[in-house]
Structure 1
Amino acid sequence: MTDDAAFEDGRETPLYLGAFDTEDLQIISSLAQDAVFPITEMTWRAGERRFALLLNRFRWEDRARARQDPERVQSLLVIDNVLGVASQGIDRSDRDTVLSLLSVAFEPTGDGTGHVLLTLAGDGAIRLEIEALEVTLKDVTRPYRAPSGKMPRHDT
């Protein structure tokens, strides 16, 4: 007699997700929560209308977490159709700053336009004015042991 295959038996593959509506964006936001990134890994290419972050993302989807140390993976978070970028609570001149992403949300303004709001720990935020919602999250490295060896926590 053979047993059915379980999720844990499968080979994990890198994430590559797209969001074109708020429901999709909520999934990307939950997977990117607690990602950390140096301020130098944030770029806006105005001519391409593209804003990108190279994140060190905590692997919330890792079902094997109970059997091994917590893991992170480097991921690209890319927002397309960006018309403008504004930030608050971030000292962009301090190149040693490491930021922590709490959430990614969409605030519609009409006819598909709106703002993507990247909320950061410590009261920082980045607001992207967009023509249409198009966000991707793509893992670009193999997972690695989280340097802290711990899961992120949110004490209230």
Structure 2
Amino acid sequence: MKPLRLRIEDQDDLNVVSAHLQDAVTAVGDFAFEPKRRRFACVVNRFAWEAEGTARLGPRRHFRVRAGLHFDDVLAVRSQNIRQDAKDAIVSLLAVRFEPSATPEDPAGTITLDFAGGGTIALDVECLEGHLTDITGPWETRHKPAHDLDA
């Protein structure tokens, strides 16, 4: 399994990154906003969906990878239903989405990280700019994330 190094510059890039980050887990304390650098960053343990069912790795083997995610040109960060004081609390990322500004020519907008249980982190950005980079090799996990689609 090759390490991911993905650049985020548009909605299509973000959709690919969001798919790779589905079911990533992290501690609340692993989120960081650096206002002077205008950067929001976090480290996550992402589920390696790209390895699922591959003959080389085995159809019943599942993997996670430690990855860094960051967004640049961040003007403000807001969170909802995430306890900032619970630094060791684990959250599970469901999706990352982008809502552009109302003006079509303006590259600004809001990036939203949606978490299981209804938590969100919203990033007001000047433009869509970021990276997802694997920082460790894969390790095996017994659990494959599952979602109740009827809920």
TM beyond 0.5: yes
Gaps of 5+ in 2: none
1:138 CA displacement = 0.3
Contact 2:27 2:90 in 1 (8 A): yes
SS class of match (2:16): helix
Q: Does 1:132 align with 2:130?
A: no
Q: Does 1:122 align with 2:117?
A: yes
- Give the Cα–Cα distance (whole angstroms) in 2 for the partners of residues 102 and 67 of structure 1: 23
Determine the structure 2 residue equivalent to 1:6: none
Determine the structure 1 residue equivalent to 2:76: 84
Aligned residue among 14, 32, 37 for 1:48:
37
- Give the Cα–Cα distance (whole angstroms) in 1 for the partners of residues 130 and 95 of structure 2: 13
Determine the structure 2 residue equivalent to 1:37: 26
Gaps of 5+ in 1: 1-11
1:68 CA displacement = 4.9
Contact 1:118 1:125 in 2 (8 A): yes
Q: Does 1:151 align with 2:144?
A: yes
* CA deviation profile, 1:22-62 (whole Å, cap 9, x unmatched): 11110000000000001111101111000011000000011
- Give the Cα–Cα distance (whole angstroms) in 1 for the partners of residues 40 and 95 of structure 2: 16
SS class of match (2:12): helix
SS class of match (1:29): helix
Mark the structure with the bigger radius of gyration: 1
Report the TM-score, using the length of structure 2 for normalisation. Answer: 0.91
SS class of match (2:100): strand
- Of the structure 1 ranges 90-99 and 28-37, higher mean CA displacement relative to structure 2 is found in 90-99
Over aligned residue pairs, what C-alpha RMSD do you find?
1.2
Contact 2:29 2:86 in 1 (8 A): no
Paired-residue identity, %: 39
Report the TM-score, using the length of structure 1 for normalisation. Answer: 0.88
Contact 1:69 1:150 in 2 (8 A): no
What one-letter code is carried by the residue in structure 2 that aligns with 1:88? Q
Structure 1 consecutive aligned stretches of length 4 or more whose deviation exceeds 6 Å: none
1:113 CA displacement = 0.3
